[in-house]
Amino acid sequence: MSKNQNIFNKTVMSVGEMASGAKLTVPVYSYKTPNPQGPNVYIQANMHGAEVQGNAVIFQLLELLKDCDIQGNITLVPYANPVACNHKNGEYTLGRFDPITGVNWNRMYHFDESIILPFTEQYINATDIDIEHQFKQLMINEIEQKLDHNIFGLTTGQRIAYQLQRLAHQADLVLDLHTGPISSKHLYCPEYAQTSASYFDIPHTILIPNEFDGAMDEATFCPWWHLQQAFVAKGRTFTMGQGVFNKESFTVELGSQEQIDLDVAHQDAMGILSYLQHKGVINAAEYKPQEMTRYACYLKNYKALYSPMGGMVDFLANFGEPLATGEPLARILRMDNYGDGDPLHYVTLDHTVLPILHFASASVNQGTELYKVFSDFFVLD
């Protein structure tokens, strides 16, 4: 290591208390730059309990960033949701939803669209810089209001989500590290940020519209998109992804849940640094995207296939390879039908799809999600 290594700062954020009084905390790491020339970045991992690989990626990012020329402030938050990541049911981690309420942990962020119009009216003539500064502050104020001023209190998930969101609103670029169940790597990317998708080393991109549905990525880019639209409607032109509207948020799906691999995490971290280099957050030309075929599909064409029957599934289709019409995605074993029925049912579709992920267990009920596929897709340039 050189004597010029960057020094990170570490703080600890309290996000919850259990019945015994045990406090749950989240560590927050940050590399700060005295005179940031590039955008600020926020990266978190493990909002869903079983999706742990992002913690290893943050480990590798912290290591690699020690020796980078950093141009913007970078905040990294592993173990974003300790309530979820500590919750075991049997051997596995019950991770996608609050075990008490069933609410998806990644649908509890906040955005109130009604703040947009008054803001544009107030700041229609402000400078670009001032607009950015004031709107960031407004979003942070909104969250602090939710956190601190409610006599009826907050749900467990809101208390966690709002504290994370308060940090994320201070950044321009937001990466929320998730995984699928058994899954290929894939990326959720706002439609307007499509060109950025090619800087990650991820072969599948889902292009999402600009609607808020409670997730971290949406909670951080949708406000800016709505603001930009509202200014344009008032005749003041801004372009998303440029100038003070250089705001992008991604949900990065790192592969399968319930596992970490530090070597793979090192590769994942380099892909993220490639994106940060592209955006000018770091000045490190050695990080550049790998060559690969990158497929994309619009969210409306990203389809879940639900099991037509209960049974035990032999998943056949490989991820990332187009599957021809009629080729089986899976075969479902039904031993109770052996001898007097059909013990094997083949699941097929009537058009070519690109399989992205499948269910984590062979055992399914009728109606369990079997696969998610790109049902209409194209190659990104």
The CB-of-171 to a copy of itself minimum distance in angstroms stands at: 20
Q: Is the CB of 93 or the CB of 198 nearer to a copy of itself?
A: 93
Q: Is the CB of 52 or the CB of 168 nearer to a copy of itself?
A: 52
What length is written for the chain? 381
Binding a copy of itself by CB under 8 A: which of 311, 356, 357, 377? Answer: 311
C-beta of residue 273 within 8 angstroms of C-beta of residue 200: no
Compose the 348-377 pattern: x for residues touching a copy of itself by CB under 8 A, - for all others: -xx--------xxxxxxxxxxx--------
Asked if 307 is part of the footprint of a copy of itself (rule: CB under 8 A), the reply reads yes
The CB-of-275 to a copy of itself minimum distance in angstroms stands at: 22
Asked if 118 is part of the footprint of a copy of itself (rule: CB under 8 A), the reply reads no
Asked if 117 is part of the footprint of a copy of itself (rule: CB under 8 A), the reply reads no
User: Which of 209, 366, 265 has its CA nearest to residue 51?
Assistant: 265
Binding a copy of itself by CB under 8 A: which of 3, 4, 21, 148? Answer: 21
Asked if 1 is part of the footprint of a copy of itself (rule: CB under 8 A), the reply reads no
CB-based burial label for 235 (10 Å; 0-12, 13-18, 19+): exposed
Compose the 132-151 pattern: x for residues touching a copy of itself by CB under 8 A, - for all others: -------------------x
d(CA 233, CA 228): 9
- Bridge partners, 298 (sequence order): 207
Positions in 254-293 near a copy of itself (CB under 8 A) = 258-262
Strand locations in the chain (E)? 9-17, 23-31, 41-45, 74-77, 88-89, 92-93, 173-180, 182-183, 186-190, 204-208, 248-256, 295-298, 302-306, 311-315, 330-333, 344-347, 354-358, 363-364, 369-374, 378-379
Positions in 30-89 near a copy of itself (CB under 8 A) = 49-50, 52, 55-56, 58-59, 62, 78-79, 82-83, 85-89
Binding a copy of itself by CB under 8 A: which of 290, 312, 324, 325? Answer: 312
Q: Is the CB of 30 or the CB of 40 nearer to a copy of itself?
A: 30
Compose the 217-246 pattern: x for residues touching a copy of itself by CB under 8 A, - for all others: ------------------------------
Q: Is the CB of 192 or the CB of 315 nearer to a copy of itself?
A: 315
Binding a copy of itself by CB under 8 A: which of 67, 69, 314, 342? Answer: 314
d(CA 25, CA 79): 9
User: Which of 215, 170, 162, 165 has its CA nearest to residue 190?
Assistant: 215
Binding a copy of itself by CB under 8 A: which of 36, 209, 310, 328? Answer: 310
User: Which of 102, 85, 88, 100 has its CA nearest to residue 26?
Assistant: 85
- Phi then psi dihedrals of residue 50, to 5 deg: -85, -5
Retrieve residue 295's tokens.
């497929």
Asked if 100 is part of the footprint of a copy of itself (rule: CB under 8 A), the reply reads yes
Residue 34 DSSP code: S
